[in-house]
Amino acid sequence: MILTLDIGNSTMKIIAYTHQDDVIFERSSKTYKEPDELFYQEFFQDLKRLYNYQPDLIIVSSVVPKITKTIIQQLEATYQV
């Protein structure tokens, strides 16, 4: 499974795909521009529980460098990638 995150100034778009390019789910969330580790930890854990998936590839695109590192750290912690 492939998980993509497009982090914009106002919204973050998350899409999960199969390796055959089928969309498993799409979600949008407000982008919180402060590097709030607890928020992003809970956000990704909730997604994992809700959709019961484990990506083997995560692609992150971000125009908000202030939070990019925090999001990547929480993705690594949640999905062990």
Give dist(CA 17, CA 4) in Å, integer. 8
Domain with 42, as residue range(s), is 2-79
Angle at 1 between CA 19 and CA 37, to 5 degrees: 145
pLDDT tens for each residue of 30-78 = 998 877 889 999 999 999 999 998 999 999 999 999 999 999 999 999 9
State the Cα–Cα distance between residues 66 and 27, nearest whole angstrom: 22
Q: Is the pLDDT of residue 15 over 80?
A: yes
- pTM equals 0.87
How many structural domains are present in the chain?
A: 1
CATH number of the domain that residue 8 is part of: 3.30.420.40
Please give the DSSP secondary-structure letter assigned to residue 31. Answer: P
